[in-house]
Structure 1
Amino acid sequence: MLALSACALLTGCGGGDRPSLVTVTGKVLIDGKPLEGASVFLKRIDASDSKHRRPSRAITNAQGEFSPKTYGDAEGLPVGKYKVGVVKTEYAEKLPENFNAENPATTPVKMRWLVPKPYNDPETSGLTVEITSSGMTPPAIQLDTGGAAPIVESTAAKRAANEP
């Protein structure tokens, strides 16, 4: 149904005993449409050696495509199975004048969750992919809103421990 070319090249990533990485391109679709600007988190679930369970992340482009990185700028993932989380939020209103970008938790703001919250955590999303030497299966991560409008939540301001 969905066509995606997944390029896969086995590449070494240096750094001593790090595993070889497979360069892959995946895609995120929400209600069948590409999702731009989403954070994609991949957590390896089948590593026989626990020191090779490093999580990976990527940001989707305008076509919903992403290329995960595992070790800094080293693109790719070790072969294996992964749990996946996808997050995309935006401010639901103009930021207050006293908003502090250096410490955003001090000022409550309204956030709109563009990806339903159940998809946010790799541990509970139910989303999985498998990386083989041929690429990523499935090649696209399908998200479904069920037609529901995005949730808008107010973030709570957090007080410093020494504030009254």
Structure 2
Amino acid sequence: MNKWYFIAVLAVGVTGCSGSPDGPEMAPISGTVMLDGKPLVGAEVFFVANGFEGFGKTKESGQYSLVRGAPVGECKVYISKLPEAKVGASGLPAAIADDPEQMAAMGQAIASSGRGVKPLLPPEFSDPEKTKLSFSVPSGGSTDANFDL
């Protein structure tokens, strides 16, 4: 194989991994999620726009911060929370149980199948297709992306 071909393929692969200059502008997002006036602990918060998804998990105070931020502009938001007692007794492999995104996806799949664990929140908050939640992400980010459910 020609060494120049190999170098060209490697160069394309490396630049592809660094992120696209055509990708959306991202901004830091944090806030608080409350349910019936109380902090919602251990909920997964997702901001979705243009094929990109930001993720964070709420703390004891209901506060969250998206790990990689969210795309600037209007984002669809959904918040997932499974009952605590049923998640811990799952006996799942650590690779799945320790990954909040895997657990959220699994919980939604089980809930949509009509069997097993149901999310604590109704679909208008927890279902990525049915959510009524949204947030307009400013270019400088926001620390006030609060949701009172």
**Alignment partner of 1:27 is 2:18:** no
Normalised by the length of structure 1, the TM-score is 0.55
User: How far does the alpha carbon of each residue in 1:100-151 deviate from its partner, in whole angstroms, 9 at most, with x for none?
Assistant: 524998xxx95353223432113212111110034349631121xxxxxxxx
Task: Please list, as runs of the form range in 1=range in 2, the aligned pairs for 1:59-138 lying within 5 A after superposition.
Answer: 59-69=57-67, 75-90=68-83, 92=85, 95=89, 100-102=91-93, 111=117, 113-136=119-142
1:55 positional shift: 1.4
Q: 1:56 and 1:87, CA in 2 relative to 1: closer, same or farther beyond 3 A? A: same
Question: How many Å separate the matches in 2 of 1:78 and 1:92?
Answer: 34
TM-score norm. by structure 2 comes to 0.60
- How many residue pairs get matched? 112
Give the counterpart letter for 1:31 in structure 2.
D
- Unpaired stretches in structure 1, ≥5 consecutive residues: 1-13, 48-52, 70-74, 144-164
Provide structure 2 residue ranges, at least 5 long, that are not aligned to the other structure. Answer: 1-17, 97-105
Give the share of equivalent positions with the same residue, in percent: 30
By percentage of residues, which structure has more helix? 2
More strand by share: 1
Name the aligned partner's letter for residue 77 of structure 1: A
Q: Which residue of 2 aligns with 1:161?
A: none
Contact 1:42-1:122 within 8 A present in 2 as well: no
